[in-house]
């Protein structure tokens, strides 16, 4: 019986010493394979996140670019002519943009003046206060002012649309 206990004790002690080493080796192989897999998975995740963020930024910048450039109004003030009555000015404008524009007012030296007449491709809108100028077209707005021109003085002319204030266009009153 003593022999069996010693033998059992020796079996248990040897199995305790041998088995942990085997388990450690197996655990090490498993851990090594997990560690080898982890950088690959991390790299794939980083690449996926980078691609997703770059797509989002590109879409955002594309929307900004279209908003700033594609829909911008472009109005050229081609010339200013002072009327013979000394209280009118004719402003010739051209729409070089991609869309029709609505002109709301003409300013002479910062003061909004009444538009009394229009010629060319300008059309008066139903509201009675704005003039539509189709893309690629031009027209002339006649403005009446409440004062008499000073001979040789320079006046700054602005044309305001529903979105933008164009100018200044410096014009010298005739002699």
Tell me the pLDDT of the chain (175 aa) as tens digits: 544 544 545 555 544 444 555 556 666 565 555 555 678 888 899 999 999 999 999 888 877 766 555 567 889 999 999 887 767 889 999 999 888 999 999 999 888 888 888 888 888 888 888 999 999 999 999 888 887 888 889 999 999 998 889 989 999 988 7
Structure confidence at residue 67 (pLDDT): 55
Task: Report the alpha-carbon distance of residue 101 to residue 79 in Å, rounded.
Answer: 18
Confidence at residue 105, expressed as pLDDT on a 0 to 100 scale: 92
In the chain, domain spans: 1-70, 75-172
The confidence score (pLDDT) of residue 78 equals 93
As a whole number of angstroms, the distance between CA 42 and CA 145 comes to 72
Omega within 30 of 0 (cis) for the link into 57: no
Question: Residue 16 has what pLDDT?
Answer: 46
Position 15 scores a pLDDT of 46
In whole angstroms, how far apart are CA 7 and each of 2, 16, 123?
Answer: 8, 14, 113
Task: Give me the pLDDT at residue 114, please.
Answer: 81
Q: Using CA atoms, how far apart are residues 55 and 61, in angstroms rounded to an integer?
A: 10
> What is the model's pLDDT at position 113?
84
How much is the pLDDT for 34?
A: 53
Q: Is the pTM of this model over 0.85?
A: no
CATH fold group of domain 75-172: Immunoglobulin-like (2.60.40)
φ, ψ for residue 85 (rounded to 5)?
Answer: -85, 0
Q: How far apart are CA 102 and CA 175, in angstroms?
A: 33
Cα 68–97–111 angle (5° rounding)? Answer: 85
CA distance 38 to 42: 6
């Amino acid at each position: 019986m003593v022999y069996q206990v010693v033998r059992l004790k020796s079996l248990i002690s040897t199995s305790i010493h041998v088995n942990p080493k085997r388990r450690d080796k197996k655990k090490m192989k498993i851990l090594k394979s997990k560690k080898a897999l982890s950088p690959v998975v991390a790299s794939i995740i980083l690449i996926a996140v980078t691609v997703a963020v770059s797509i989002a930024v590109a879409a955002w910048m594309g929307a900004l670019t279209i908003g700033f450039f594609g829909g911008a109004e472009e109005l050229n003030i081609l010339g200013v002519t002072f009327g013979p009555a000394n209280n009118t000015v004719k402003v010739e404008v051209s729409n070089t943009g991609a869309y029709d524009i609505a002109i709301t007012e003409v300013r002479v030296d910062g003061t909004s003046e009444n538009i009394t007449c229009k010629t060319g491709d300008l059309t008066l809108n139903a509201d009675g206060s704005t003039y539509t100028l189709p893309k690629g077209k031009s027209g002339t707005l006649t403005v009446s002012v409440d004062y008499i021109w000073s001979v040789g003085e320079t006046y700054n002319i602005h044309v305001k649309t529903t979105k933008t204030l164009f100018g200044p266009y410096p014009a010298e009153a005739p002699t």
